[in-house]
Structure 1
Amino acid sequence: METILRRISRKNVLDGDNVGLTPDLMAPWDPYLLEPPAQSNLDLDSHTKLVIEAANRNFYTIIHILLPILKKDSPRRFLSFFDKYGGWMVWRLWIIPEALNCLITENAVKCANVVLEGKAPELDDLRANPNWMSQYGHFPLHQASDIFAVDMIKLLLSKGASANVRTAGNRVIEGLLPLHVAVENTCMHKYLEDNLLPNQEHPSYSKADVYKLIHLLCLPEMKVFLDASRELAKHTNGVVDEIWTYIKDGKLVHAGVLLLAAQEHIRLEPSCKKNDNSRPDGFAIVLSRIANHLYSFDLGMGQKERERERHMSI
């Protein structure tokens, strides 16, 4: 299955997109700047740009050595590798996001834990930042969500990754939460694409389709996909709003995936008391919005019918 981020990465490669990270994406994470050598005659911005681009290029020249280590997920071998090649994986005091994303893509949870903690002596106080945007406009949690790496998602969240970051830039679909990536990719699963209203560009869902969707989502093969969405939903703000947006846009499968994955979360989250008044749970909020939407729709249709009758009588 070609996921959202894989499709974007393939497009960037085909387009020859090898532009390095820009300093403005780095600035919030580190107050220290590496000064250009006195003999270089470069200003700070030019030097910074060259350093970042070199870090990206250098990392991809050693990635073939790193991949076998990550497949074994051996922290000992990784630290030995870093001791030799670490200078090609860092910028300022941080391990570059391309390196962390490589660990995530290979689902090397133990190695990722090492670089996120940054406590191993071999790292020389360097570590990976779980909230550092990559050159392609997405964050580590997007990468983990793209491959439904549940343990990696849990690790990133435990190390401070935000589930509310959104993709940005012209190399990615903008405005996507990690939760969106997980839900969207779940909806592209072969079981759903092959069995739920195939070959219909604008499907009209029936009650039977809803039952079929629930049945498909409850299959054991779908568990890992729902688990990823469930873990992300626990840490994402406004999940009820996201569900409502899917419903309003006619994306029944997306809404079904998120409702099933986040059902416990949306029942519990709004149930706290505020000013001694119990707020309705998320399901009640969604049902209320649907009812209001249908009422507004009926009013609009009634208004149009009256206008049509008035014009016919003239």
Structure 2
Amino acid sequence: MDILERPFFHDKYLYDEIEKIIECDDKERFLSLISKFPDSVCMRVVEDCAFFHARKCLLAIIEGEVSISALEIYAKFVPHFPETPTPLAVVARFFHEAYDIIELLLKRGPVEHAKIKGYAFQSVFYDDAPCAYPLDHLLTSLSDESHLYPWAPGTSLNKLIILLCQWETNASLKSARLLAPHTDGINVIAWTYVRDGRLVSLAALLLVAREKVFVPFDSGLTIRQRIVEIVDALHREGDLDHEAVKYQSMLVEARELLDIFERAGDALSLYCSSMHEYVPPHKVLIDVANLLKKTGHTLRPMDLDLRDCFRKCPEVKKASLFKLSDPESPSNKYLLPPSLTRAQSFCATGRSYPSVGDCQLFHKLKSGPMLNFLPSASVPRLLRTAASQVEDTVLGNSQKHFAYIAFLFKRGIKFSI
């Protein structure tokens, strides 16, 4: 039965029908139905278009082919719901790779929409979702990209940068590059990422707006100086509790990321912004690795191993650059120093926070038996196993976790603070 023939029509049926049409991105049916029910166009329809990546239907709303434009929808709902996200924020969150649509929204509507915060997408995040600019929504959603998912804090920052420079992320970085000039307080947004340990979002922000990230705060300190000040203060406190160790380690890792961009930021940004056609993963790896080397960075085998991120790319598997050298060779063995601190032990994986008793197990990594205690599982599975041991510091579970750390040692990880 056609929707118009239902004897007891209700809005729910209409929205269900609209959603099905949007999911198929059928512009003709969409315009036909909307023309019969013009009052049905609301922010929910805009959100659905962005969520389902329905480019044709979304452009029809933005370009005014329906009874009310996206900006008029926003203006209509704001008086009643002041926390309504702008269409720009909706697209940035759900359709962040659509840089052409974001550019069109910036041209058609007031650029001030890029500066409007809102409690957007509470059902997607959580009930008390924080205020966020469209740029923040975009960078938050960027971390969900499939090729970035295997990367985890505490592993390789150089690998993170190489992954962000891939073609798969290029469109999203273009969108962020469009929003950045119209966003105030980018250094404050960057500090939020540092505080929360959101290194993927921080690295992406540095790729598109590095100069604004390094602008001093009202206190006169730059973001790096603020990190150093807090890390030094924590170091003077001596023995730290669980939360302080976690916080200190996040700050140290963020500082290392800032150091990389202070030296190589211009070259990395130029490389990403000049990428106008598809470049395969292994070619991006070689290009970015060379850029990092030219700025004085020393790359390790783990920085160049993208096999867990591009499993379906045979070139990645075949490229000699990804073949790790013999893990038993002296050049690939990095043993922990005897004076390893709890903060340094956190940096081993970024997944757990050992107690004082657990730290003794790190020294056993220098012996053969512990190095041979390795589960025969994939890296992602080992990561999940390590993460599951965070709350349980029983010796047996700790051994499983430290076995994973031993595994990372054999892959060529080197620890430094």
Q: What is the TM-score of this pair, normalised by structure 1?
A: 0.55
CA shift, 1:229, in A, is 2.3
Contact 2:22 2:54 in 1 (8 A): no
The amino acid of 1:147's aligned partner reads F
When residues 214 and 61 of structure 1 are mapped into structure 2, their CA distance, relative to the original with a 3 A threshold, is: closer
CA shift, 1:78, in A, is 4.7
Contact 1:107 1:152 in 2 (8 A): no
Contact 1:104 1:140 in 2 (8 A): no
Segments of structure 1 that go 5 or more residues without pairing to the other structure are 1-53, 90-94, 198-202, 268-280, 306-314
**Percent of aligned positions with the same letter in both sequences?**
25
Cα distance in structure 2, aligned partners of 1:108 and 1:143: 13
Q: What is the TM-score of this pair, normalised by structure 2?
A: 0.43
CA shift, 1:238, in A, is 1.1
Paired position in structure 2 for 1:147: 95
CA shift, 1:61, in A, is 4.3
| Residue 110 of structure 2 is aligned to residue 156 of structure 1 | no
The amino acid of 2:43's aligned partner reads P
CA shift, 1:182, in A, is 1.7
Segments of structure 2 that go 5 or more residues without pairing to the other structure are 1-8, 240-417
Paired residues, number: 216
Paired position in structure 2 for 1:167: 119
When residues 125 and 204 of structure 1 are mapped into structure 2, their CA distance, relative to the original with a 3 A threshold, is: closer
The amino acid of 1:283's aligned partner reads F
Paired position in structure 1 for 2:379: none
Deviations 1:52-73 (A, max 9, x none): xx985364143167437x7244
| Residue 228 of structure 2 is aligned to residue 294 of structure 1 | yes
Paired position in structure 2 for 1:22: none
When residues 63 and 135 of structure 1 are mapped into structure 2, their CA distance, relative to the original with a 3 A threshold, is: farther
Which range moved further: 103-112 or 236-245?
A: 103-112
Cα distance in structure 2, aligned partners of 1:177 and 1:283: 19
When residues 304 and 78 of structure 1 are mapped into structure 2, their CA distance, relative to the original with a 3 A threshold, is: closer
The amino acid of 2:214's aligned partner reads F
Q: Considering only aligned residues, what root-mean-square deviation do their CA atoms show, in Å?
A: 3.8
Paired position in structure 1 for 2:33: 81
| Residue 50 of structure 2 is aligned to residue 104 of structure 1 | yes
After TM superposition, the structure 1 = structure 2 runs for residues 261-272 of structure 1, keeping only pairs within 5 Å, are 261-263=208-210, 267=211
When residues 156 and 294 of structure 1 are mapped into structure 2, their CA distance, relative to the original with a 3 A threshold, is: same
Contact 2:83 2:118 in 1 (8 A): no
CA shift, 1:249, in A, is 3.2
Deviations 1:233-277 (A, max 9, x none): 2322211211122123333222101111333xxx3xxxxxxxxxx
After TM superposition, the structure 1 = structure 2 runs for residues 38-187 of structure 1, keeping only pairs within 5 Å, are 57=12, 59-63=14-18, 66-67=21-22, 71-73=25-27, 78-87=30-39, 89=40, 95-109=41-55, 111-116=57-62, 118=64, 123=67, 128-130=72-74, 132=77, 138-145=85-92, 146-148=94-96, 149-160=98-109, 162-163=113-114, 164-167=116-119, 171=123, 172-173=125-126, 174-175=129-130, 176-187=132-143
Residue from 191, 201, 208 that aligns with 2:147: 191
Residue from 201, 204, 207 that aligns with 2:154: 204
The amino acid of 1:71's aligned partner reads D
Paired position in structure 2 for 1:222: 169
Paired position in structure 1 for 2:184: 237
3-state SS of 1:224 partner? helix
